Amino acid sequence: MPSSGPSWRRSHEEFGYLRPADPAEAVALLAADPHARYLGGGTNLVDLMKLGVERPRLLVDLGRLPLADIAPTGDGGLRIGALVRNADLAAHPLVRTAYPVLSQALLSGASGQLRNAATTGGNLLQRTRCLYFQDTAKPCNKRRPGSGCPAREGVHRDLAVLGHSEHCVATHPSDMAVALAALDATVALLGPDGARSLPLGDLHRLPGDRPDVEHRLLPGELITAVVLPPPGPGRSAYRKARDRASYAFALASVAAVLGVRDGRVTRVALAFGGVAPKPWRAWAAEDLLLGAPADEASFREAAEAELAAARPLRDNGFKVPLVRNLAVRVLSDLAEEAAG
Ligand SMILES: Cc1cc2nc3c(=O)[nH]c(=O)nc-3n(C[C@H](O)[C@H](O)[C@H](O)COP(=O)(O)OP(=O)(O)OC[C@H]3O[C@@H](n4cnc5c(N)ncnc54)[C@H](O)[C@@H]3O)c2cc1C
Ligand code: SF4
């Protein structure tokens, strides 16, 4: 493939490839062609192209953009460029010490090889692993709006128990995004009309009757960075349940941040993965926990309150106790650590 030059198209199987060096140029390319796609590490997009799920006319490779730095912010937080590789982010000393939940989430995902290629921006926008979504011979409302959702009656063991709709029960697959949700991260964006930012919790949409619209980016918008607030008091951890010990997506996962003083919860942030179409911030549980005794009974009561909204399907009811027990375990461990 040429490293730059005009796009070319002779059939649906061929696509153009450009490698701009300037973020504004990348945005202009995307804005000019609704069939263009950004290419991060390519570990998800290229797989979907091979399956025929994605058929871009133009790939805009982000590899030359100056967005691969991790730098402290003036207020004690951290700015993570969109092109920082998952492996580098997990290994960064500030991430490991100040935001262990993020490092642990990244290391629980994929394989070493994939983490070396996958980027921060691409990880956030990776698509669902629902089998029907990946199979173009099957209907799927997310791939082809209005065609139906065979997963509801079919294979849905891995799919959502929270936040889904009759139109789609897919889960968001990213581990990293769950940790970022618990950390109150912000996503920095650049679009044709300039820069803006979104709380990470607002980046992904619930499916409702439009499962094909997965996020709140405007046409052509590029993720340029993820910004973490200062770590604050307390400890954090990520725990993931999966079918195999490694190299598997979450059946359920929990990211938790917990601060404890005099036996009571002074700070808490809790997010669930593998159980919803987006990283699921457990606001109801957090409300109950703030000021409560930092003990197993409170953690169980809070997790159960959050999961009262769960609507499991025929074969995925096991996820409700699974995520509840994971949440209780990870919070109990953090409380024990705090007690020394
Ligand atoms: C076998 C296997 C196992 C895996 N296991 C796990 C797992 O356990 N946990 C987990 O979390 N992940 C897992 N993954 C997924 C992996 O983490 C993702 O494929 C990867 O993070 C995607 O990043 P990328 O840079 O390669 O994205 P790409 O494939 O390059 O892009 C993904 C999407 O993001 C868009 N995009 C990329 N960068 C930007 C940007 N800066 N701004 C706007 N849009 C952008 C692209 O256009 C595309 O739509 C697994 C993948 C494989 C193949
Ligand atoms: S769950 Fe969503 S992604 Fe899976 S088949 Fe149904 S509509 Fe498609």
Task: Give the pocket of ligand 1 (CB within 6 Å).
Answer: 37-45, 47, 62, 82, 109-110, 114, 117-119, 121-123, 125-126, 173-176, 222-223, 249
Q: How much is the average pLDDT of 245-263?
A: 95
Pairing mode, if any, of strands 58-61 and 16-18?
parallel
Give the pLDDT band of residue 246 (cuts 50, 70, 90).
Answer: confident
The pLDDT of residue 162 is above 70: yes
Give the pLDDT band of residue 99 (cuts 50, 70, 90).
Answer: very high
Query: What is the per-residue pLDDT across 295-324, written as a single tens digit (0 to 9) for each?
Result: 999 999 999 999 999 999 999 999 999 999
Residue 30: its pLDDT value, please?
Answer: 97
Q: Measured in angstroms, how far is the CA atom of residue 259 from the centroid of ligand 1? A: 32
Residue 1: its pLDDT value, please?
Answer: 38
Q: For a ligand 1 pocket test, name from 15, 29, 33, 45 the mutation site with the most ligand atoms within 8 angstroms of its C-beta.
A: 45
Q: Name the phi and psi angles at 150, rounded to 5.
A: -65, -20
* CB-CB neighbours of 76 under 10 Å: 12
Q: Measured in angstroms, how far is the CA atom of residue 101 from the centroid of ligand 1? A: 19
CA torsion, points 312, 318, 321, 327, in degrees to nearest 10? -90
Tokens of 50: 């091979």
Q: Measured in angstroms, how far is the CA atom of residue 43 from the centroid of ligand 1? A: 6
Q: What ranges in 45-129 are assigned the alpha helix state H? A: 45-51, 86-91, 93-98, 100-107, 112-117, 120-124
Q: Measured in angstroms, how far is the CA atom of residue 130 from the centroid of ligand 2? A: 6
Helix (H, G, I), strand (E, B) or coil at 64: coil
250, amino acid identity: A
Nearest ligand by distance to the CA of 172: 1
Residue 13: its pLDDT value, please?
Answer: 66
- What is the position in ligand 2's atom list of the atom closest to the CA of 141? 7
Q: Name the phi and psi angles at 280, rounded to 5.
A: -100, 105
d(CA 21, CA 319): 44
Residue 318 buriedness (CB in 10 A; 0-12 / 13-18 / 19+): middle
Single pTM value for the model: 0.96
d(CA 64, CA 83): 9
Task: Provide the strand spans (E) within the chain.
Answer: 16-18, 36-39, 58-61, 70-72, 78-81, 186-191, 194-199, 222-228, 235-241, 252-261, 264-273, 280-281
Longest dimension (CA), the chain: 69
* CB-CB neighbours of 237 under 10 Å: 21
Query: What is the per-residue pLDDT across 72-98, written as a single tens digit (0 to 9) for each?
Result: 999 999 999 999 999 999 999 999 999
d(CA 53, CA 143): 7
